[in-house]
Every structure is written in C-alpha cells, then in structure tokens.
Structure 1
Amino acid sequence: MDRTPSAPLPAVADLRVLELGVWVAAPAAAGILADWGADVIKVEPPAGDPMRNVFGALGIREEMPNPAYTLDNRGKRSVVLDLRNEADRARMEGLLADAHVFVTNLKPDALDRFDLGADATLARHPHLVYCSVTGYGLEGPDRDRAGYDLGAFWARSGLSHQLASRDEPLNARGAMGDHITALSALAGILGGVLQQRATGEGCVVETSLLRTGIYVLGWDLGLQSALGRVARGEPREANQSPLMNCYRTADDRWLLLTCLEAVRHLRNVYVALGREDLLADERFASGHALRKNNRHAIAVLDEEIAKRPLAEWAQRFDDAGVWWAPVQSPTDVLGDEQVRGNDGLVEVPNPGDAGGTTISVNGPITFRGRPSRAPGPAPRLGEHPDASF
C-alpha cells in the first residue's frame, strides 16, 4: 500500500486520553484519537476487554485472529487495573489527574460503584473532558439498562422498524451503530477539548446509542412529528422511486441507480438502456409518472438491466452520465481501487512476537499534507503495566 494514516497533528499529539471502555463504541472513539497520534491508555479489568474474545463469545473458535479488536484498539497502551482494589483505584486516580480526556462506556451504575460517575469524577478532576457513552443516556428510567447497538441504536430508535421492507424488523449487523456513535463521541470530545484549552475547564460530554440512532433517523421522526405519519422501507419491487433502486445484471451482480432527481436523469437512463422510446410512454415519461407506475417501471428496468453484465452497464451508464454504484461484497471492497487510493485500508503490525501485519480498515478522516506514519499494533492485555502519561 502506498500510504499510511496521517502523522500526528501537533494539536492532537500531546492529547492524553484515558479509556475505560469495553466492546466497541468508547474504544472506537479513543481508537480514532490514537490513529491521529493521541496518547491513549486503555484500562482493562483482569479478564480484559470482552471484545478480545468476541468470537469465543459467539461460539466461534477463540483462537481466530481478531481484526475487529485491532480496528478499534491499535496504537493504544494497555494496563490492567482491578477497580475493586484500593491500590488500583489510587492508580486510576493518578491517571485521571494527568489525563486530558476520559472516555468510558461502562454502565452508569457500574461507574457509580467505583466513584467514577461523571459528576463525582469531574468534581475531583475539574480539568477533565469526561466523555460518557451509554446505551440510553445518563437520565431517565433506563439509565442503567444494558444495551448493545442492536438494541439501543437499531431497535429502540426506530431504525429497525423503518428500514424493514417486510413485516419483520431489520436484523442489522453488529457494531455499525457503535461506530456511528463513536463518531458522535469523537465530535463531542473535540468540542470539549476546545473548551478545555480556551478556559482550562473540563466538561461532561454525553452521547448514547439511542440518541445517535434517533439523530440518524431524524428525517423520518421529523415527518412523523409534523405530519403524523411516515412511510416505512419498501420491497425492491415496490420502491416508489424506481431510479433509486437496485437491479440485477446478466452476470448475477447488482447495481444501484442513484438518480434522485428524476427530471434531471430520466433521459440519460433511457439513453444508457437503449430505450429512448420510453420517453414517449406516458407511464414512464416523468418522475411523477414513474412514481405512479412504479411497479411497471421497475419491471421494465429489471428486464433491460438483466440483459448485460455489470462491466458493460458500468461503461454505458458512465458514458450517458447516469449516477449509479455497484453493490459490492466485502471482497470487492477490499480490492476497490477507490478505497485503496484514498487511505481506506492500512497495514497494522500484529501484536507481540507474532510478526507480520494485518490489513485493517482505516479511520474515516485523512489530514492531507501531513507526513505519513505507520500505526502501532493493538496491545496485548496488560502489555504496559507501568503506563503513565
């Protein structure tokens, strides 16, 4: 690969981040900061972050490589602290005193038991940017409810309901909501650090899987609030916007037309199809007509697109100025020149004495013009017992 993640920005390189996180959302937010050059110490219990054994927890072989853990934890240092132990609690307080940022996604009641709740911690360390990532928020009846992103981000927010095209809720992939919530946390942390550097004062930055989920669904929830109704997801064959739909090609691949503005794109689509005659058919001659006759329009597009392979459609659509995208598998994405040419992937050293590297997904931000550097490996459990800032 030609490039690696951007070198530390001076403004980030001196940032000291203490993470008390498990699974994904909080570790991912701290992980992006580590990618940017921040000094991140990850505090783990004696058994370690359970994400280390995610495949074993799912009933898969425990000895499998764990690229999921690598993605969110590369470049950090790991220290083991048993917060039930008085000496380890004192060590934790020392780390908090020296940190600029504390990020955690432990449940609020668990943090309260260790006197690490937001208000108590900020009272002892008023300089600190305290980032709380929870399932459901720091207030309300479900403050202490356990929640993965499948429950809090997808189900409780309404996303699984709205994205379902049949009678059953969408069964989403894990960690997607976590990573979106991590970006929410990251934005809040950076705002808090700006406040900290301007005034010397810390603050509590709060986000949750639920709050981020309803923000993602904000358009639909806004329509429901204003109009009292909002449409759910639709089956492909009943999509009300036939030019914003997926179609199968002759070689059993799929492509997605992304022609939102039908008036702008309609002629180009028909030219690419070799079916300019459709402009003379009142059922298909305008965006309004397509919406009214959506099933018929989709059937025509199905028939035409099934006649040629994806590569041929790629050329025809590009030549005609049609907006579209291939529907790619994970294998396709890893080999995509556009992904590789824009820092989408990065080589991460394997931990310990294993040697070699692992291809990992890069964070979503590149700082152009910065010298390149290689990321560090994900730490082994307790690899840095004497870690300090």
Structure 2
Amino acid sequence: RWIFTTGTSDSVNVLFELDNRGKRSLAIDVSRDEGRQLLVELIEDADVFLTNMRPQWLEKCRIDYDTLAAEFPRLVYASITGYGNNGEQRDRQSYDIGGFWARSGLAYAHTVEGQAPPTLRGACGDHTTGITLTAGVAAALFERERTGRGQHVTTSLLRSGMYVLGQDITMSLRLGGSLPMGGAREDAGNPMMNSYCDRDGKWFWLLGLQPDRMWPSAVRAVDRPEWLDDERFSSLPARRQHAPELVRLLDEIFATKTREEWAEIFTREDVWWEPVMSPHEVVADPQVEAAGAFIQAPAGDGVATMLNSPIDFSDSSVEHALPCPQLGAHTDEVLLERGYDWERIVELKVAGIVL
C-alpha cells in the first residue's frame, strides 16, 4: 500500500487510489466458518459477487460459483483468473505482465527482432481485463431481467490479452501464419504509418493507414512533389520495397522543423498525425480536459484532480462520494447496517474474523 505514496501523513498510494476510490472496505476472514457465514449474509441482497481469487481457494472456502449459485440463483457471479477456470493451469498464479502480456503473445508481437521483449506498464492488462468483465456483468444483469437467473461471468488475463492481439491470433488460426515480430521503424512496411522525430527530439506518428490516398498530402507537406512520379515511392508496394530509404529521407526532412511547425503544415495539407506525448503533456492537453478525462474526487480531508473512468453517460449522474479506503475502514459501518451490535462486532474483531 505504501509504494508510490503522496508523501503526506496519510501515505495514500495514488495507484491503489485510482482503482479503489468510491468503494467501502470490509475485511473478513472467509477461510473460517464464521467469516464465511458473514459473507453469505452480505450476499443475500447483492446483485453481483466479484472475485479475482483462484478457483481452488474459492472451492476450499465454499464460495465458488456452484456453491453460491445453489443458494442464490439470481446472483451474477463474476470472476477473473490468470488462465481460465478449466484446464491443468486454472490455478496458476499470475499478474498482468504474465497472463496478459507474456503468455498471450502480446510481448512477442511488440518485440523488435534481436532485442529483449519490452516491459508492460503497470496495470495495463488489469484495467483491460476489468473493463472486459464489466461488460460481461452488464450483459448478465440484462439477461437476468429476462430469465430471473444469474450466471457465472468470467474472463482471464490470458483471454483478454489474446483478444487485444486479435489480428495476430486470427492470422495464425485462419491462415496458418503470423504477422512479423515488431520491426525496427526504419523497416516500416508502410512508412506513412510510422513514427518520426522533429528538430528538438520530440516524436510524432503519421497515421497514413490508407497510404495511397494519403500519400499526396504527405508529399505536399514535405515539399517533395517529384516523389509522386518517383518509381521508388509512387505506390504502396514500391514504398514498402524502398522503405529504409524513404524513412531515412523523411527523417532528414522532419528533423529540420519543430513539431509545432509541422503541426501547422500537417493541418494545412490535411496530413493525419498525432504527437507522441509524455504523461505530463497529456494532463496539460486541453483536448484531454474537454474530453472529460479528469474529475474532482474526494482525497483525505479534501478533493484532488484524478483520472476519470473512460465511460460517460448522457443522463445518469455519477457521484464520487468516497475517498479510497484503508483496509477494513468500513467494517463497523457495514456490520451495524446489517443489524450487528457493538458487542458482537468486538467479539468478531477479537476472534480475528473481521478487521
């Protein structure tokens, strides 16, 4: 909890805060019978039960899907695993850099041949898999409106990583081949869909996904009209064949101006592009602010600017009423709501059933 803290007296882990604000925290030892019974009481009027524990542990504690569904048939049981609920490795431990990044093929696909695989930024796979499960839960709740029954909704770090890499996986399945490993930018198959650097060392990306349609605009932007009739560059196959030479020439040209100067030229000539921005540049981007990326959320005794979820609603209001809790911060509150008196709560704490 105290890694990446704010440095203040409350020592808030800002990364933990991102994923846990707005929640209440009740800490129960469900491996013990009294703790399990307490959890079951809480589930009685719940719509969704969410877990990222491994199947063998859930079964040991008798809070697996089959057990809870028998008692609560309307419950939507949502679970995330590393590698799925079936197979010999269903209980294999994992983090997102394992199941989502390394095992799924994503790391391999982003590796430049001859170099070490790149590292995944923290929680990228966690967030992607979490959003995936959220969609499944919403669908299951809608289905319950029709049938009156809940069901087990599950995904895994492995499966979500494979779906992110869907183009490569589909190539392997359908065509028996695969796309090449991540290549050096100097060998880009489409130099119009590549990164380039300006005079000050700032990078940007050309977005010429339709290269023949967008090539004339790029030629005007770099003031090389003769390239339109140059046999080396006049078609996509030709540009692919002569990619190292074209990338070298574009590198030389783009290094003569700043990114801001190129932005004006690209806008004038209708060249599709985007800057490669640092996190500091992102949070200062006016478009990011206009897109609703930030919220004022509770933090300690005040409020702070935080990253918003990536989903907006036109009519439904979203309140950010609770700061990120400490472990077990709401145990007393929740148990009192459930009708427990202080004497019983103290007994549970002394016995180590709750925190």
The alignment's TM-score, normalised by the length of structure 1, stands at 0.81
Per-residue CA deviations over 1:139-191 (Å, capped at 9, x if unaligned) read: 00101011000000011111101111133222211210111101110010001
Q: 1:198 aligns with which of 143, 146, 149?
A: 146
- Cross-structure match for 1:186: 134
Gaps of 5+ in 2: 339-355
SS at match of 1:130: strand
Q: Which moved more, 1:142-151 or 1:67-76?
A: 67-76
- Cross-structure match for 2:187: 238
- Cross-structure match for 1:207: 155
2:324 is the alignment partner of 1:368: no
Q: Which amino acid aligns with 1:183?
A: I
Q: Which amino acid aligns with 2:238?
A: A
Q: Which has the larger radius of gyration?
A: 2
Residues of 2 paired with 1:329 and 1:66: CA distance? 22
**Conserved 8 A contact 1:55-1:61:** no
Q: 1:108 aligns with which of 43, 47, 55?
A: 55
Distance 1:331 1:64, change over 3 A: farther
The alignment's TM-score, normalised by the length of structure 2, stands at 0.89
Q: 2:174 aligns with which of 206, 223, 226?
A: 226
The offset of 1:356, in angstroms, is 2.8
- Cross-structure match for 2:341: none
Residues of 1 paired with 2:312 and 2:134: CA distance? 15
Matches within 5 A, 1:277-316: 277-316=226-265
Matches within 5 A, 1:317-328: 317-328=266-277
Per-residue CA deviations over 1:268-296 (Å, capped at 9, x if unaligned) read: 01111112221121111122211111111
Residues of 1 paired with 2:105 and 2:240: CA distance? 26
Per-residue CA deviations over 1:287-315 (Å, capped at 9, x if unaligned) read: 22111111111001101111100101111
- Cross-structure match for 1:141: 88
2:295 is the alignment partner of 1:346: yes
Distance 1:139 1:61, change over 3 A: farther
Residues of 2 paired with 1:287 and 1:345: CA distance? 41
**Conserved 8 A contact 1:243-1:258:** yes
Distance 1:375 1:346, change over 3 A: farther
Q: Which amino acid aligns with 2:39?
A: M
2:217 is the alignment partner of 1:268: yes
Residues of 2 paired with 1:371 and 1:214: CA distance? 34
Residues of 1 paired with 2:47 and 2:304: CA distance? 31
Residues of 2 paired with 1:372 and 1:147: CA distance? 33
Per-residue CA deviations over 1:215-261 (Å, capped at 9, x if unaligned) read: 11111111122332221111111111101111000111000001110
SS at match of 1:131: strand
Residues of 2 paired with 1:319 and 1:375: CA distance? 46
Q: Which moved more, 1:64-73 or 1:121-130?
A: 64-73
2:109 is the alignment partner of 1:124: no
Per-residue CA deviations over 1:66-119 (Å, capped at 9, x if unaligned) read: 221111111111111111333222110011111000111011111112111111
Gaps of 5+ in 1: 1-51
Residues of 2 paired with 1:320 and 1:65: CA distance? 48
Q: 1:161 aligns with which of 83, 108, 120?
A: 108
Residues of 2 paired with 1:129 and 1:197: CA distance? 12
Distance 1:199 1:220, change over 3 A: same
**Conserved 8 A contact 1:347-1:357:** yes
Distance 1:83 1:372, change over 3 A: closer
Residues of 1 paired with 2:217 and 2:12: CA distance? 47
2:304 is the alignment partner of 1:358: yes
- Cross-structure match for 1:330: 279
SS at match of 2:191: coil
- Cross-structure match for 2:352: none
Residues of 2 paired with 1:226 and 1:70: CA distance? 43
**Conserved 8 A contact 1:254-1:327:** yes
- Cross-structure match for 1:24: none
Q: 1:173 aligns with which of 115, 121, 129?
A: 121
The offset of 1:197, in angstroms, is 2.0
Q: Which amino acid aligns with 2:223?
A: G
Q: 2:46 aligns with which of 93, 99, 104?
A: 99
Distance 1:375 1:335, change over 3 A: farther
Q: What's the Cα RMSD here?
A: 2.0
- Cross-structure match for 2:98: 151
Residues of 1 paired with 2:283 and 2:276: CA distance? 13
Distance 1:220 1:61, change over 3 A: farther
Residues of 1 paired with 2:71 and 2:8: CA distance? 44
SS at match of 2:16: helix
